[in-house]
Amino acid sequence: MARSFTHFLPLLLFACFAVIASIALVMTLSGERKPSELPSALIGKPVPPTELPSLYNPQAFVNIEAATSQPYLVNFFASWCAPCRAEAPALAILAKKIDIIGIAYKDKPQDSQRFLTDYGNPYTAIGSDNEGSAGLNWGVYGVPETYLISADGLIIKRHAGPIDGDILREELLPLIRSLQKQG
């Protein structure tokens, strides 16, 4: 008994490993597991203090620090970013339900302004992050990125990449609705 057990133990261990590996592989292939999608380190933490010159009025400053009385979105965008164009309609819908603060990431102000004239301006305030330093503080690794902030200034969700219809309907809108009910 003991002998056959010790002989088959390695095989057993290998079988366990093979099962785990194949589950991971199947989940990756079916799109359920997305290894390239990075979790934000900032979820549940307060927003990083951010003060940026306003896009349309460089003398004024856009401040993302103080807790507001209601939840809001922070959206990093740039005129050079094609997916940002793709998510413009989704942002237009969101703008009817929630305040959106835009941050023009590594973009010339005049380019950002032209982008907004062409594709619509869903933002309540826009900061100009010319150097990308605010992006570093928020852990942004590619535009567009969207953060949902609760009324007490905590980051609830980060979505990297353009917002499409599915993300809008199934993730963002329900979350926003529940946040707004709480508030």
List residues near other proteins by CB under 8 A. 2-4, 6-11, 14, 36, 38-42, 48, 88-90, 92-93, 106, 117-120, 132, 135-139, 141-142, 165, 169
**Residue with Cβ nearer other proteins (142 or 183):** 142
- In angstroms, what is the minimal distance from the CB of 69 to other proteins? 27
**Residue with Cβ nearer other proteins (135 or 144):** 135
Q: How far apart are CA 177 and CA 94, in angstroms?
A: 11
- In angstroms, what is the minimal distance from the CB of 38 to other proteins? 6
Alpha-carbon distances of 183 from 4, 68, 75, 105, rounded to whole Å: 64, 11, 21, 30
Alpha-carbon distances of 114 from 57, 81, 117, rounded to whole Å: 15, 13, 5
- In angstroms, what is the minimal distance from the CB of 3 to other proteins? 6
154 near 44, Cβ under 8 Å?
Answer: yes
- In angstroms, what is the minimal distance from the CB of 92 to other proteins? 4
**Residue with Cβ nearer other proteins (31 or 39):** 39
Q: How far apart are CA 12 and CA 18, in angstroms?
A: 10
The residue behind tokens 């200034």 is 153
- In angstroms, what is the minimal distance from the CB of 148 to other proteins? 18
**Residue with Cβ nearer other proteins (92 or 154):** 92
**Residue with Cβ nearer other proteins (21 or 60):** 21
| DSSP class per residue in 29-68 | HTTSS-TTPPPPTTTTSBPPPEEEEBSS-TTSEEEE-S--
